[in-house]
Amino acid sequence: MTPEPFGARLRHAMDTRGPLCVGIDPHASLLTSWGLNDDIAGLERFTRTVVEALADRVAVLKPQSAFFERFGSRGIAVLEKAVAEARAAGALVLMDAKRGDIGSTMGAYAATYLDKDSPLFSDAVTVSPYLGFGSLRPALDAAAVSGAGVFVLALTSNPEGAEVQRATAADGRSLAQVMLDHMAAENAGATPLGSVGAVVGATLGDAGVDLAVNGPLLAPGIGAQGATPADLPRVFGAAVGNVVPSVSRGVLRHGPDASGLREAAGRFADEVRAAVSEG
């Protein structure tokens, strides 16, 4: 059987659970604020608490791979378990790994996150296109086979990103727009939503690019980085209905109590719904 595409699954999750992605970012400072040690036991307790509190109610959970990798193989084991348990509870898992390479190496990254037989198989993964959009082909092809998604960095929320992403190509387009145009071509004809998404920071103000890629727009920067749900219509314009706002510390700081995490996530989801409907 052909798997249901990620874009269709994400659209359903956003419509039923609310358009929100919550990051699982076990910073050392967050572990400390939860009264946990910055060790494998603290990592496991933190991660299990977030998954148990939110995986049955938010559309997307987004573990940041680096915060697990720093603990070596034991951290990866925690990540594998979190991915499996979050997916079993109904959340879509977006692995925030930002991988980018060429040829067989990109193929190996694709096999890690986008092959259903992999212990780290996720519903989607973040990738970097700045070795050329064509370098992403192994990930795009693997995602299509498994019904997974790929979120491509386009306009990120860090100020340093502009020196690359706002640079001008030979035809006058910004490099970010070149990448967005490639994404639109990949998603052409997909309904209700394509499976190749763009990462566009919610802190950008006017994005200044055409965001009509017929795919999801992951919007980091809500909460601790200063953006609010009310900013979304101004940044994303007519594409705001396809935005998946990403919140990490804005929700996670309300732990370790599970009810605090749920209330914070619910509040953000309600604020996003209101902003999108007004936009």
End-to-end CA distance of the chain: 38
Residue environment code for 25-47, b if the CB has 16+ CB neighbours within 10 A, otherwise e: bbeeebbeebebebeeebbbbbb
Query: Is 109 in a helix, a strand, or coil?
Result: helix
- In the chain, helix, strand, coil percent, each to 5? 50, 15, 35
d(CA 134, CA 97): 19
The whole-angstrom separation of Cα 61 and Cα 76 is 17
CA distance 84 to 120: 8
3-class DSSP assignment, residue 231: helix
Closest by alpha carbon to 133, among 113, 115, 153, 149? 153
Q: Which residue type is seen at 44?
A: E
| Residue 62 designated active-site | no
- Which listed residue (62, 81, 98, 116) is catalytic? 98
Reported as type and span, the H/E element at residue 243 is strand 243-247
The rounded distance, in Å, linking the Cα atoms of 201 and 161 is 11
The answer to whether 12 touches 155, Cβ cutoff 8 Å, is no
Positions marked active-site = 98
